Amino acid sequence: MIVLNLKAKVCMSHLLLKPTFDTFSLIEGEVTTFNRFQVDGRIHKDFFDEAFEKEYSTWGEVRDFFFQVIRGKKTPLNFKFILSLAKDQFEAFLTEHDLTYRPEEIQGLYLNFRYDGLALQCITGTSMNTFTMDKSVEKAWDEYVQKFFASQELDFDME
């Protein structure tokens, strides 16, 4: 787990206006403006007529909703977005980092964006489906996130 301090204006542009995070799964989101708006990213498969494979909506599918809630002259009082690398990308992530885990052993590879009205942070996290003392997935995820943010020109300071 690492904490990245981000420049709010630049990061918000990537979150709300650009496709930077569109392939990530939305686990949950919450924005407080004049009301608190909460979204559970879990897909309700009963809603659809056809079979649906995904468990969560992608950020790209809900990004515009959050943009509509946040846009305006006043900044939100606070927000949090919990994103995860999409499950269908776990295998490529493991292969790219020469990790011996199977994709089904990973619960999530998370980006926790938190804005408190003053500062914006992204806290990385990992969750495994099995107990392990091995931190290789966590270390690889932290390195991946730093490289990904740098490649997107999302400047950050680490705590």
Within the chain, which residues score under 50 in pLDDT? none
CB 37 within 8 A of CB 69: yes
H/E stretch holding 8: helix 8-16
Q: What's the pLDDT at 54?
A: 86
Which position has the token pair 């003053």? 118
Q: What's the pLDDT at 35?
A: 94
Q: What's the pLDDT at 37?
A: 95
